[in-house]
Amino acid sequence: MTDPRDARGRAVPASRLARFGAFGKLAGGLAGGMMAEGARRLADGQRPSMGEMMLTPRNIGRVADQLAHLRGAAMKLGQMISMDAGDVLPTELSDIMARLRERAHHMPPAQLQAVLIAAWGKDWRNRFRHFEAHPMAAASIGQVHRATLPDGRLLAIKVQYPGVAASIDADVDNVATLLRVSGLMPKTLDIAPLLAEAKRQLHEEADYVREGEQIERFGALLAADPRYQVPALERSLTTPQVLAMEYVPGVAIESIVDAPQAERDAAAHAMIDLVLRELFDFGWMQTDPNFANYRIQRDTGRIVLLDFGAARPVTAETRDGYHALLMAGLDGDRDRARDAAVASGFLGEAAVARHRALIDRMIDVVIGELGRPGAFDFADRSFVGVLREQAMTMANDRDTWHIPPVETLFAQRKISGTALLAARLQAKVDVRTMVERYRTAAFSSDREPMPG
């Protein structure tokens, strides 16, 4: 969302040198903050750890502010951390990182003009009856403007920030370096495959022609379902840096938090059903669960689906792993659930060997919640505190840290984010019955994803 206090916008650092300098400034600020915090704690007779000195509200605020200024891959990674960690992050860190889901400066007019001339030519304004200069939304990779075509059709035009695509690799490396230097990540943990996949995914998200293809894919998949609406693509105006689509009215989906229970339940049911269909039916999933990607039309309850840059195929291994895990959970079989979690890569063998009793207690909690008859009350978060406490105990044992397969991580982003949305709506949904539909699903291990 655009910061209302920043009506003129803030230029995106587009050159590699400018972005490198911003990261250098951030690193210097963090180092100074750590020294000050360390001195304060030593004066109080404490012996602070590296993490305690790093994870201060002031330091995390520095990170959030600078990533919001840089935008692009740097800000996107911060958003991923804040969404993916969900309820497991310490409250203070979660609250501060959540700023990145709500804060993005927009481009000043001169920078916007330069981008549109590069995409459409100097006479680009002749393509429209009206083009709103001030964006209606600004996010990590681009900002969105409303426009009217000569024939009266309304469009939403997403304009990519300059330099975003070219800076992805360096941004990811710089964020990884900050994590390493901070001491928050074990040096023995090999994150190279994850970084490589993050770069690949972000390059795909920065390709608006590809996103246009995904819009058309999901539009076809959901065309017969009145619960959803995917905006129609305007191919004639779409380029690698500018995405044009039908403007579909709606309100922020989280804004219905005060709506009648039935309305909230229906919205959450539709979102959870979409995840299950993506995972088990479509073979494709839009893996970015940012709430801003969903709007809702209050009069019909129809959910407007936006932003398909993170759409990707679901591998057979990922699908089968989730199926085995869910069926074990439905059956209340703790041992089978643990084995399925290891087989699918959710859990590392070292963690199970060292923390089996703790893991079994966590599985029992989840099975107990899944086994309750009737609708699951997402507003009841009492079990989350139990899971958080046990997860933090495991997290403190860095020798057993484990990175799940990349494909599983992306799918889990969508699943966790959808659960977080249902909790925000305080919805009640019979999830067990929804999952039971897939108990006898006949999957082909060599199923190919739907062609693009």
Structural contact between residues 320 and 443, judged by C-beta atoms closer than 8 angstroms = yes
How far is residue 388 from each of residues 279, 372, 412, measured CA to CA in Å?
A: 26, 21, 17
Strands (E), 20-108: none
Alpha carbon separation from 368 to 1, 352, 383, 434 (Å, rounded): 38, 20, 10, 17
Name 160's bridge partners. Answer: 142
Residue 244: strand pairing partners: 157
Alpha-carbon distance 191 to 194, whole Å? 5
Cβ pair 225, 277 in contact under 8 A: no
277 vs 271: CA distance, rounded Å: 10
Q: Where on the phi/psi map is residue 450: left (φ > 0), alpha (ψ -120 to 50), or beta?
A: beta
CA geometry: angle at 72 spanning 413 and 416, to 5°? 10
**Which residues, 6 or more positions from 385, have their beta carbon under 8 angstroms from its beta carbon?**
none
Q: What is the dihedral of CA 253, 259, 264, 267, to 10 degrees?
A: -40
Among candidate residues 171, 265, 288, 307, the one labeled active-site is: 288
Both tokens of 131, joined, read 């083009």
Contact assessment for residue 295 and residue 306, using Cβ atoms and an 8 Å cutoff: yes
In this structure, is the dihedral angle defined by the CA atoms of residues 330, 334, 340 and 344, taken in order, positive or negative? positive
Check if the beta carbon of residue 350 is closer than 8 Å to that of residue 399. yes
CA-to-CA distance for 393 and 363, rounded, in angstroms? 15
Residue 307 is classified by DSSP as: -
Q: Which two tokens stand for residue 214?
A: 């995904």
- Per DSSP bridges, beta strands 311-313 and 284-286 are antiparallel
Token pair in block for residue 356: 């089996």
Dihedral angle of Cα 432, 438, 439, 440, to the nearest 10 degrees:
160
Q: Is 288 annotated in the active site? A: yes
3-state DSSP assignment of residue 139: coil
Paired strand residues for 377: 428
Catalogue the active-site residues: 288
